[in-house]
Amino acid sequence: MPMVELKQIKKRLGGEDVLNGVDLSVGEGDVVVILGPSGSGKTTLLRTINFLNPADSGTVTVGGLTVDSAKHHHKEVLALRRKTGMVFQNYGLFKNKTVLRNITEGLTVVRKIKKEEAEKRAYELLEKVNLADKAGAYPAELSGGQQQRVGICRALALSPEVILFDEPTSALDPELVGEVLKTMKAVALTGITMIVVTHEISFAREVADKVVYMEGGVIVEEGTPREVIDHPKDERTLRFLRSILEDSMDYMI
Amino acid sequence: MNLNYAFMLEDIPVVLSALPRTLGLTFCSLFFAIVTAVLFGICILKNIPVLKQFLIGLNTVIKGIPLMVQLLLCYYAIPYLLRAADGFLGYVYNPKNPSYFAFAVVAFAINYGAYMTDVVVSSYRAVERGQLDAAYSVGMTAFQGMFRIVIPQAVVISIPNLSNYFMWLLKATSLASVVNVFEILATARMSTANNYAILEGYIVAALIYWAVCVIFEKGLNCLNKKMSRYRNDIVVS
């Protein structure tokens, strides 16, 4: 049984069809990378999974819990969100809370876990990303790469069944992208299910079990990285990959 | 200049005795102004149809009338309204003992409430939206996200603005001397009735206002610094 299953997800935004009936199935422990040009609906799709932007119609299943986008009760949504974690493009850290509190907040407030236990868990995770010494710092005192690693720890702390990554490296300075990708690779190795929206082709090639190419609100092509990235069948996939892989070699000064 | 310094010294404790009344007027007005601003702000932020447009319109009316005029309007209009309310829900109107203090509080609360509504709305909007998404993503309810993440930050953002309004309000309470509230200014004026040392009385009042304001300003600066510790993106002077 797949860990995440989307069926006929449709969404209109501002009079335009952003998602035109997307079906996606993600197996347990799989890393799925969603590629696509901007405006293709990939971030919107990701946000329909945990109902941050619910779809107009279609069903979302996470870890055996199925919720209908068209008619959902807020308790169902809450239950669904408690099975998922999310890492945001702009980190989304709670600015009024320290690094430690950012990670423990979900554990103590939502899961009702004791403070000491939550802190122990937070420190374990911070050790793994080499940020234990920043536990008492506020987000504004950290670099973008450090903030994003804290964001990953916050998502991991809740032991979700799937983690959604929404362009986690897009807001970072180029030299900080590496540290975040390295952390994401380490997360992938733990066997947790991941759905990643990104432009990092090398990450997709190296880590993904499945690559999905989206354009115009539909999935154009999906398969292994070898199939989609190295031997794309669809003209649109080919054009997109060319544009991002060969961009830097198009001209000389 | 030939000032009656001896009288000024003598007058200080007399005028100071009205300080609690000035502070009481300030804090009562501040409290109700904040309540008004929060209620107005919620209606505007929640985009409640009709009510929102009405409140925005009402705010322009309140801001367009001088505070002094509003104080006088309350001074004359509220007793009239109370008389009309006599007998309603067991209320008994007592024309012998009107609470001028309360009338002044109403005027200040309305006036400052209108201005502070803007502070409430803008502070709330200044909190980075992505954090609410993040709160939802860790499983918080809308209520938890609001009260644990958004509102605490909106409050901190509003402190410098609210401090300014507080300082203005503290000084604006002197206007209440005109509508029979015996705060610092009215007390200072009255204390000079016997010896005509009017200038001396006003100097004493001015010095007391100044001293009180300096103390509050320092305190509010400290509070602001302490509360916005987590924001190193702004420079706190």
Q: Going residue by residue through chain B (237 aa), what tens digit of pLDDT does each one get?
A: 788 888 999 999 999 999 999 999 999 999 999 999 999 999 999 999 999 999 999 999 999 999 999 999 999 999 888 888 887 877 888 777 788 999 999 999 999 999 999 999 999 999 998 999 999 999 999 999 999 999 999 999 999 999 999 999 999 999 999 999 999 999 999 999 888 889 999 999 999 999 999 999 999 999 999 888 888 654 444
The pair phi, psi for residue B92, each rounded to 5°, is: -115, 120
Task: Summarize pLDDT for A123-182 with one digit per residue, the tens.
Answer: 999 999 999 999 999 999 999 999 999 999 999 999 999 999 999 999 999 889 999 999
CB A136 within 8 A of CB B230: no
CA distance B44 to B134: 24
CB A57 within 8 A of CB A180: no
Beta-carbon contacts of B227 under 8 Å, excluding residues fewer than 6 positions away, are B155, B156, B159
Tally Cβ neighbours within 10 Å of residue A182.
14
Answer whether A111 sits within 8 Å of B139, measured CB to CB: yes
* pLDDT of the residue at A204: 93
Residues of chain A neighbouring B139 (CB-CB closer than 8 A):
78, 81-82, 106, 110-111, 158
Residues of chain B neighbouring A138 (CB-CB closer than 8 A):
229-232
CA distance A139 to B233: 11
ipTM of the prediction = 0.91
The type of residue at A221 is E
* More confident site: A22 or B98: A22
B137 vs A: CB within 8 A = yes
Contacts of the segment A59-67: beta carbons below 8 A, 24+ positions apart:
A59/A5, A59/A6, A59/A7, A59/A8, A60/A4, A60/A5, A60/A6, A60/A9, A61/A2, A61/A4, A61/A5, A61/A6, A61/A7, A62/A3, A62/A4, A62/A161, A62/A162, A63/A3, A63/A4, A63/A161, A63/A162, A64/A1
A121 vs B: CB within 8 A = no
Closest CA to B111 of B42, B185, B60, B38: B60
Of B134, B139, B141, the CB nearest to A94: B134
User: What's the CATH class of domain A4-249?
Assistant: alpha beta
A73 vs B: CB within 8 A = no
B55 vs A: CB within 8 A = no
A140 vs B: CB within 8 A = yes
Q: What mean pLDDT do residues A210-217 have?
A: 94
Q: Is A144 exposed, middle or buried (0-12, 13-18, 19+ CB in 10 A)?
A: middle
Length of chain B: 237
* pLDDT of the residue at A245: 75
Q: How far away is chain A from the Cα of B230, in angstroms, using its nearest Cα?
A: 6
* pLDDT of the residue at B236: 43
The pair phi, psi for residue A74, each rounded to 5°, is: -65, -20
B147 vs A: CB within 8 A = no
- Residue with structure tokens 């797949």? A2
Task: Summarize pLDDT for A74-104 with one digit per residue, the tens.
Answer: 899 999 999 999 999 999 999 999 999 999 9
Cα distance from N-terminal residue to C-terminal residue, chain B: 39
Give the residues across from A166 on adjacent strands: A197
Answer whether B130 sits within 8 Å of A90, measured CB to CB: yes
* pLDDT of the residue at A147: 95
Domain-wise residue ranges, chain A: 4-249
What tokens were used for A24? Answer: 């996606």
CA distance A22 to B33: 51
Answer whether A86 sits within 8 Å of B134, measured CB to CB: yes
- Residue with structure tokens 């209908």? A68
CB A101 within 8 A of CB A135: no
